[in-house]
Structure 1
């Protein structure tokens, strides 16, 4: 049985010219893939743009700079006005987004209620992932 925790929020994209552009974002966590979180960015031209990365990277990034590759996350300030910075890099370019840190923390808390960190590997459906991998190899 798959359960999910999702949340919609607007993130702000910092443009190269310094403009702030609102980006509707769908945060998605599925118990069938307990180690990962998905951020689905709504782009008017391309539709949904997915980014999938480790849930523990996002959780660590709510406390301090986290990540050293394609995804870097860090907090800014505290309280209700606190922001979470998300720097995404790909061969096609990079994007610097910000979101409400309290909103992200509340959503993450709900994901850990669904699948606690200590139970992630137990919730991982390795048989299904292996079958999907082997089906793709033929």
Structure 2
């Protein structure tokens, strides 16, 4: 039986800080599903608790490895230090904001795996428009 891989999941440690708070390490997971080929999901928190999920563009994370990018609720900023580089993601909503920092090699490995599954520029070949319309209309269609 030929079963094709359709998702990429990668466990990382994220260092999360809120305004006026010290950074705290949290288990996190990066997730990509080819049924939503333009997006990645960042889940913060232990799997046994209720994680906090943020979904944003894969391209935003990819560009953020090299230069500051984004606007609105998600900003992605590379941070280069002497012997260690990290990716900083600023998450904002009406409740406040948080800074999430992850090691660049881990994020880069995750992204390479997503591009092996769905190459950049081929995302539109994996869109299921009928499913998306059904979800948007609550199954009426």
TM-score using structure 2 length: 0.88
Gaps of at least 5 residues in structure 2 are: none
Higher helix share: 1
Partner SS state of residue 45, structure 2? strand
**For residue 20 of structure 1, what is the aligned residue in structure 2?**
23
Partner SS state of residue 118, structure 1? coil
CA contact (8 A) 2:134 2:140 kept: no
**For residue 43 of structure 2, what is the aligned residue in structure 1?**
40
Partner SS state of residue 67, structure 1? strand
Alignment coverage as a number of residue pairs: 138
Summarize deviations over 1:27-64 as a string: whole Å, max 9, x none: 000000000000011169x6111100000011000110
| Displacement after TM superposition at 1:126 (Å) | 1.0
**For residue 11 of structure 2, what is the aligned residue in structure 1?**
8
Matched, 1:102 2:105: yes
**Residues in 2 aligned to 1:116 and 1:80: alpha-carbon distance in whole angstroms:** 30
CA contact (8 A) 1:13 1:95 kept: yes
Summarize deviations over 1:49-93 as a string: whole Å, max 9, x none: 110000001100011001011000011116861110010000011
CA contact (8 A) 2:18 2:97 kept: no
**For residue 73 of structure 1, what is the aligned residue in structure 2?**
76
Superposed CA RMSD in Å reads: 2.3
**Residues in 1 aligned to 2:98 and 2:39: alpha-carbon distance in whole angstroms:** 20
The ranges of structure 1 where at least 4 consecutive aligned residues each deviate by more than 6 angstroms after the TM superposition are: none
Gaps of at least 5 residues in structure 1 are: none
Aligned partner of 2:132 among 123, 129, 134: 129
| Displacement after TM superposition at 1:96 (Å) | 0.6
